[in-house]
Amino acid sequence: MELELFIPDNASLFFEGVILCLLAGALLPLAFRETRWTTVLSFGPMALGSIMALALSLNIILTGSVLSLGSPILAPIHGALMELRVGGLGAFFILMIGVVTLPVSIYSIGYCRQYYGKHSLRALGFLTNIFVLSMILVPAANDVFSFLVFWETMSLASFFLVIYEHESGSSVKSGLTYIVMTHFGTAFITASFLVLYSYTGSLSFDSFRNPALPLPIFIKEVAFVLALIGFGSKAGLVPLHIWLPQAHPSAPSNVSALMSGVMIKVAIYGLALVTLDFIDPSIPQLAWLGMLMVIVGAISSLIGVLYASVEHDLKRALAYHSVENIGIIVLGLGLSVVFMSYGLTALAALALLASMYHSLNHALFKSLLFMGAGSVISSTNTRDLNRMGGLARVMPWTSLLFLVGSIAIAGLPPLNGFVSEWLTMQALLSSYQVPNVVLQVSISFASIAFALTLGLALATFVKLFGISFLSKPRSQEAENAKESPKIMIVGMAIVGLLCVVLGVLPFVATRIIASSFGFNPSLVSDASPFGALTVPYSVAGVQSVSGMSMPEVVVVMGSVTALLLGFVLATNRGRKTARRAYSTWDNGFGAQDERMEQTASSLSRPLRTVFSGLFRPHTEVQREYYSDSNHYIKKSIRMESHIRDFFEEKIYSPVTGATLTVLDKVRRLQTGKVNSYLLYIMIILVLFLVLVAVTS
Amino acid sequence: MTIYDLVLGMLQTCSILAMAPLMTGIMRKVKARTQKRRGSGVLQPYYELSKLFKKDEVVSDQSSWIFHYAPWIMLVSTITAALFIPVFLPFSPFSSAGDILVVLGLFALANFFMMLAGLDTASAFGGLGSSREMMMAALIEPALFITIFVISLTLGGTNLSALVSAAASSGFLIAPSMLFALIAFLVIFLAETGRLPFDNPATHLELTMIHEAMVLEYSGKGLGMIEWSQSIKQLILLTLVVNLFFPIGMPTQINNAMISPIALSAALYLAKVALLAAIMALAESRVAKWRVFRLPDLLSVAIASSMVGVVFHFL
């Protein structure tokens, strides 16, 4: 890069800029009295810090350098205790964080004003800035100690944000579930690092990357499985996803956007770091590690989208979609590991590209959707889809941007979701090159799950968009809803625009990903930036190239539209056909109202029936009659239907139940009498003496 | 890509657009005959379309901009998909831009907007149709993808030109896996085009309709666009079946000077597609509409059949 900005020396400057801006955003509001403008004081610096983060990461990616830090500001903590390093992998994730936090911080300036007078805006600003700062620092950490410190800061800051609206009991409960699950994960991550440490003898990640002696396969396998459980619980992989649909919706929507958009990606960073950097999976014996990820990913995506499809809480449905998308990302990463283990470099690059492209896409459209949900919720005061409706007319901008997010996440052309799903499909189709029949057949099973996920995601977004924005308002609140302030629209529009750009011009993302991960972009695309993404196919005599060029598809769609307009005008011979508005056809009933239209629950009823094995719907009907003798004339009917969460009922409840029972028994030891405590000490002492006598 | 290729390619696309209503007409005629009716002429769909395009529209006062633009988006995405399909030549000049997965994506885009339009008018019927279509679309997707998986494994890749020319040079049903893919594809064809036993294109009974319920509120130009895009989609799927599974008469390569093989191939293509359409209509007349919740069973058969094809291919 010829640009003056992109020289390696600037990277450390930008890094310090990030830290200073975010610390300023955290501390500045604390220095002033709380007003409605406090949001500017905390989120203004956050936006600036995000720009710095973008500059930092682009600097590293485009120059291909590695930033190792020893700056004067960081000197007191640098060196002995903390080692910081930003390489291509880390820079890509910092880029992803920056690209989401910038629009989210702009959005937050408007969004968080609604909390003025109800909750502390200063606390919100402080926590959010610390949260973002720690997320950016995790990919910069280069030793076990600093990684875990930043990781825990991230978890704790987000925990406090989840319970920000603490007067509602449910948010405290979900916060507790979150903090238990996240510490369960941290324990496994620590164990994974310690396994590696026990072999290399150093806590620095550099020693994990280039161990003095090659790591034995067994150590690699153990470290990988521990890391998969640890990072999987943070990323929300099934069955460790249980906290995600509780915690993400409880937080304020701008924080949900950050948590679902980028925080779970930090866990993907950890997984990619361990798999790609520490454990070099380039021997066929390690193929099963990749296959494990493919299976877990496929199951997560399917389970996530199934629960999303029957959910009628807008934010919970979006949170379940995060489980789905994380599944797709992990599936891609797993395929990449499978290909790598058999030495299929080009395919490994393709699958890795698919996975990372989808991570970036998911960061964008999920934050867009959560911001859109936040706008809807703050103007209707409800998260229940069954109380929304007709919002497209009162909130035109929000509805347009939510639609962009929906099309993107449903994987429809020409937006970004389609490109990464196309790449994932191509990676799945390329599995014929893996020289192992069992893996080939298993991957084709995974691709059925993947395709079913896509179909269900399409259906779910018909529901989420259709029920909330279309048809008649279903409640007074929805009827009186107002469009959000402009600054919130601006924040959403930035992400919406990026979704379009990454869809129509895939080379922007493919080149960035290729240079962050150090593979040749020509493996997956034409030489020309507007050319096709290509995947070669070659097997016994048959040679062909499968390709897709979104810029050309969009140009074709544009010209078709123009031709069609001409055609329609020509058929009318210049006479414009009239449009007349009239009420919807009601079979002559004459009193069709909003109670007769579909609700979120009735819309997904067929899906609930088809997959009733998983959902096990529980329906309760109460009928009230005018008289007990005649059951034909009813005064009222009340129906309630719940689906039971399989994982909560079958896995978590037994475990928590058993733990409580055991702890209840243990509690009997605590009698409150000093005599008995002395007895315990006595017994322990005797036992120790016996132990010493026996062993010596 | 020469000008000659480009002209031929455009000709292929235009032939799909022009012949799509004809196939609908043929299918209706065959159905009428099997029901001992005379039925309207095979050109009737053309008259209907030209009437609809000239008529004024009545739109629901509850609808939003989604309802206005949905027919446009549906028609544009279906026509765009038609550009990537090789019809009577073993290639399409645009198929480097869009492969079979892009075609699926464009169909899904059209479907997405049709389901939204069904919800938009606050009609109880529209929502009912969207609700059923949501289930169907979700289950068709895996069946279709795994079928493409088999085709792509057997013929190589996802580029439509490459697939069709590979089929043309290797002939009819080269592998057992393709037979299973064909079974699955025919089931998917019935489901995707809303035919019996999945959906009855001629019904307006709320218990049975899926597709008709979603477009119930459309009239005039909007309805015309939707009907035309439906028949284009139907012909695209028929063309894919014919060209991938029965490539008899498809030239393996095109020499610039030769017009006669192209004309022969075009005539054969027309005959094959018309025959297939007639067979599908006959098959349709033999079955009754299934209960909505039995349809997943049929789609599972399609998935299982293709999965057997995959296993056959790998073993």
Mean pLDDT check: name the lowest of A107-111, A149-153, A403-407, B196-200.
Answer: B196-200
How far does B151 lie from chain A, in Å, by closest CA? 10
How far does B140 lie from chain A, in Å, by closest CA? 8
Cβ within 8 Å of A, B 241-270: none
**Quick one: which of A601, A171, A592, A111 has its CA closest to A367?**
A111
With 90 as the cut, is the pLDDT of residue B198 above it? no
Task: Retrieve residue B39's tokens.
Answer: 């039925």
pLDDT score at A316? 93
**CB-CB neighbors (< 8 A) of A413 in chain B:** 77, 102, 105-106, 109
Q: What is the chain A residue with the closest CA to B58?
A: A580
Tell me the pLDDT tens digit for each residue of A410-456.
Answer: 999 889 999 999 999 999 999 888 888 899 999 999 999 999 999 99
Tell me the pLDDT tens digit for each residue of A254-277.
Answer: 999 999 999 999 999 999 999 998
**Interface touch B105/A537, C-beta < 8 Å:** no
Cβ within 8 Å of A, B 114-133: 115-116, 119-125, 127-128, 130-132
Q: What is the mean pLDDT of chain A?
A: 88
Nearest to B122 among A461, A549, A594 (CB): A594
Percent of chain B with pLDDT over 90: 48
Mean pLDDT check: name the lowest of A384-388, A537-541, B26-30, B283-287.
Answer: A537-541
Tell me the pLDDT tens digit for each residue of A450-472.
Answer: 999 999 999 999 999 999 998 88
Map tokens 């005539």 to a residue: B267
pLDDT score at A1? 35
How far does A45 lie from chain B, in Å, by closest CA? 38
Nearest to A451 among B60, B98, B146 (CB): B146
With 70 as the cut, is the pLDDT of residue A397 above it? yes
Please report which helix (H) or strand (E) contains residue A640, including its range. strand A634-642
Mean pLDDT check: name the lowest of A64-73, A638-647, B92-101, B153-162.
Answer: A64-73
Whether the predicted model's global pTM rises above the 0.90 cut: yes
Cα–Cα–Cα angle for B167, B172, B174, nearest 5°?
Answer: 75
A634-642/A618-625 β-pairing? antiparallel
Residue B171, chain A, CB below 8 Å: the answer is: no
Q: How confident is the model at residue B255 (pLDDT cuts 50, 70, 90)?
A: low
How far does B53 lie from chain A, in Å, by closest CA? 7
With 80 as the cut, is the pLDDT of residue B258 above it? no
Cα separation, A157 vs A179, whole angstroms: 11
Cα separation, B75 vs B232, whole angstroms: 9
How far does B142 lie from chain A, in Å, by closest CA? 5
How far does B33 lie from chain A, in Å, by closest CA? 32
Q: Hey, which residues does A581 pair with through a beta bridge?
A: B59
**CB-CB neighbors (< 8 A) of B102 in chain A:** 413, 422, 548, 553
Q: What is the chain B residue with the closest CA to A305?
A: B138
**Interface touch B101/A422, C-beta < 8 Å:** yes
- Count of pairs with CB atoms under 8 A, one residue in A, one in B: 273
pLDDT score at A476? 87
CB B97 within 8 A of CB B84: yes
Nearest to B314 among A393, A437, A535 (CB): A437
**Residue bearing the bigger pLDDT, A378 or B254:** A378
Buried b (16+ CB within 10 A) or exposed e, B270-302: bebbbebbbebbeebeeeebeebeebbebbeeb
CB B283 within 8 A of CB B268: no
pLDDT score at A188? 96
Buried b (16+ CB within 10 A) or exposed e, A345-368: ebbbbbbbbbbbbbbbbbbbbbbb
Read off the pLDDT of each residue in B141-168 and give the average, rounded to a whole number.
88
pLDDT score at A574? 63
With 60 as the cut, is the pLDDT of residue A530 above it? yes
Percent of chain A with pLDDT over 70: 96
Task: Retrieve residue A488's tokens.
Answer: 């919130």
Q: How confident is the model at residue A289 (pLDDT cuts 50, 70, 90)?
A: very high
The single-letter DSSP state of residue B172 is S
Tell me the pLDDT tens digit for each residue of A317-349.
Answer: 999 999 999 999 999 999 999 999 999 988 999
**CB-CB neighbors (< 8 A) of A397 in chain B:** none
With 50 as the cut, is the pLDDT of residue A361 above it? yes
Q: How confident is the model at residue B248 (pLDDT cuts 50, 70, 90)?
A: confident
**Interface touch B62/A584, C-beta < 8 Å:** yes
Map tokens 């801006």 to a residue: A21
Q: Which amino acid is at B152?
A: S
Tell me the pLDDT tens digit for each residue of A492-517.
Answer: 999 999 999 999 999 889 989 998 98
**Interface touch B131/A604, C-beta < 8 Å:** yes
**Interface touch A581/B98, C-beta < 8 Å:** no
User: Dihedral (C-alpha) A90, A92, A98, A100: value to the nearest 10 degrees?
Assistant: -120
CB A549 within 8 A of CB A422: no
Nearest to A606 among B55, B132, B140 (CB): B132
pLDDT score at A8? 53
Percent of chain A with pLDDT over 90: 52
Best B1, B69, B76 residue to mutate vs chain A (most A CBs within 10 Å): B76
Helix residue ranges per DSSP H, A526-673 = 550-571, 600-603, 605-610, 612-615, 646-647, 653-667
Q: What is the ipTM of this complex?
A: 0.94
Q: At what angle do helices A345-380 and A396-409 cross, to 10 degrees?
A: 150
Residue B53, chain A, CB below 8 Å: the answer is: yes
Which long-range contacts (C-beta less than 8 Å, at least 24 apart) are formed by A15-19?
Answer: A15/A56, A15/A67, A15/A69, A15/A71, A15/A84, A15/A86, A15/A140, A16/A71, A16/A73, A16/A74, A17/A49, A17/A52, A17/A55, A17/A56, A18/A49, A18/A52, A18/A53, A18/A56, A18/A133, A18/A136, A19/A73, A19/A74, A19/A133
CB B157 within 8 A of CB B163: yes
Which long-range contacts (C-beta less than 8 Å, at least 24 apart) are formed by A313-316?
Answer: A313/A249, A313/A383, A313/A384, A313/A385, A314/A373, A314/A376, A314/A377, A314/A383, A314/A384, A314/A385, A314/A388, A314/A464, A314/A468, A315/A248, A315/A249, A315/A253, A315/A256, A315/A370, A315/A373, A315/A377, A315/A383, A316/A245, A316/A249, A316/A383
**Interface touch B142/A604, C-beta < 8 Å:** no
pLDDT score at B195? 83
**Interface touch B55/A553, C-beta < 8 Å:** no
CB B13 within 8 A of CB B5: no
Best A393, A458, A474, A552 residue to mutate vs chain B (most B CBs within 10 Å): A458
Task: Retrieve residue A55's tokens.
Answer: 């500059």
SS3 at position A451 = helix
Q: How far is CA B303 from CA A59, A443, B158, in A?
A: 48, 15, 19
pLDDT score at B288? 84
**Interface touch B135/A606, C-beta < 8 Å:** yes
Read off the pLDDT of each residue in A134-160 and give the average, rounded to a whole number.
92
pLDDT score at A72? 44
pLDDT score at B95? 83
**CB-CB neighbors (< 8 A) of A412 in chain B:** 105, 108-109, 112
Mean pLDDT check: name the lowest of A5-14, A289-298, B179-188.
Answer: A5-14
Tell me the pLDDT tens digit for each residue of A585-636.
Answer: 887 877 777 778 888 888 888 888 888 888 888 888 888 888 888 888 888 8
How far does B85 lie from chain A, in Å, by closest CA? 13
